[in-house]
Amino acid sequence: MRGLRLAALALGAALLASCHGGSSGKVDAADYDAFFIWAGVRAQPVLDRAKVVYVLAGELRHDDPARIVPLRALPHVRSAEVWLTIRVERLDWGDTAYDQTVRELARWEAAGNRLAGLQIDFDAATKGLDGYAEFLRQLRTRLPRKYRLSVTGLMDWSAHGDPAALAKLDGVVDELVVQTYQGRQTIPGYQSYFTRIAQLSIPHKVALVQGGDWTAPPQLASDPGFRGYVVFLINP
């Protein structure tokens, strides 16, 4: 029976990967249905069929831990599930930044958006995961339970991260979106970072850059925690 269960998990992951693109070649956004929309990125036709969008709402910058700097007007997304994303440059938030975040979530939801929750985009170093986990625990206590919590992460987390530090994110974070790019380019040698991806206990997605190189590592086909792809849209 255990063998049957493992086979079923592998088949489910493979079907998920096939339904959300990710085979090989250049990343064509038309093959996917989940997207990052960053500040300054123009709308594209692929957004009409999007099922999930991560929308950059603002930034907490190095020079002010007390304020989220808004980067866009209130969106009105009718067809897709929406994540409100905040780009973070420091973790020692003031109370006003937490309060501002909760108010903004409520405002986006009241506007009719099908709001999934909050995503934090922070480039936590692999050796700094303990401190990041502590920040996320504090943040989770301040968020209404109806909102899920997502984080972006580096490929190095799964390849070289301390399993004990990664385990501290379990039960705090609802999903991890692993970034395979830097700027507008896919990181060379990305395949080697996926050797331990299935060891992540948190449900995880893989983020690709539009137009970047991508051949799905074979490990993803048998990874029970893999939940598909998110494409970072860029202007032509």
Bridge-partner residues for 68, per DSSP?
none
* pLDDT at residue 106, rounded to an integer: 98
Using DSSP, state whether 123 is helix, strand or coil: coil
CA angle (16, 20, 22) in 5-degree steps:
100
What average pLDDT is seen over the chain?
89
CA-CA distance, 115 to 222, in Å (whole number)?
30
Residue pLDDT, tens place only, 117-166: 999 999 998 888 999 999 999 999 999 999 999 999 999 998 888 888 88
Domain count within the chain: 1
DSSP letter (8 states) at residue 220: G
Give the DSSP per-residue string, 25-82.
Answer: SB--GGG-SEEEE-TTPPP-GGGGG-SEEEEEEEEE-TT-TT--EE-SPPP--SSSEE
Q: How does residue 19 score in pLDDT terms, banded at 50, 70 and 90?
A: very low
Residue pLDDT, tens place only, 65-117: 999 999 999 999 989 999 999 999 999 999 999 999 999 999 999 999 999 99
Using DSSP, state whether 185 is helix, strand or coil: strand
* pLDDT at residue 194, rounded to an integer: 92
CATH number at 7 reads 3.20.20
* pLDDT at residue 14, rounded to an integer: 36
Of the candidates 83, 13, 30, which has an alpha carbon nearest to the alpha carbon of residue 52? 83
Residue-number span of the structural domain to which 201 is assigned? 2-232
Residue pLDDT, tens place only, 209-229: 999 999 999 999 999 999 999
* pLDDT at residue 167, rounded to an integer: 87
Length of the chain: 236
* pLDDT at residue 23, rounded to an integer: 53
Residue 159 sits at φ, ψ, to 5 deg, of: -80, -40
* pLDDT at residue 120, rounded to an integer: 98
pLDDT at residue 22 greater than cutoff 70: no
CB atoms within 10 A of CB 12: 13
* pLDDT at residue 164, rounded to an integer: 84
Q: Tell me the pTM.
A: 0.89
The answer to whether residues 227 and 42 touch, using CB atoms and an 8 Å cutoff, is no
pLDDT at residue 11 greater than cutoff 50: no
* pLDDT at residue 166, rounded to an integer: 86
DSSP letter (8 states) at residue 170: B
Round the CA-based radius of gyration of the chain to a whole number and report it.
Answer: 17
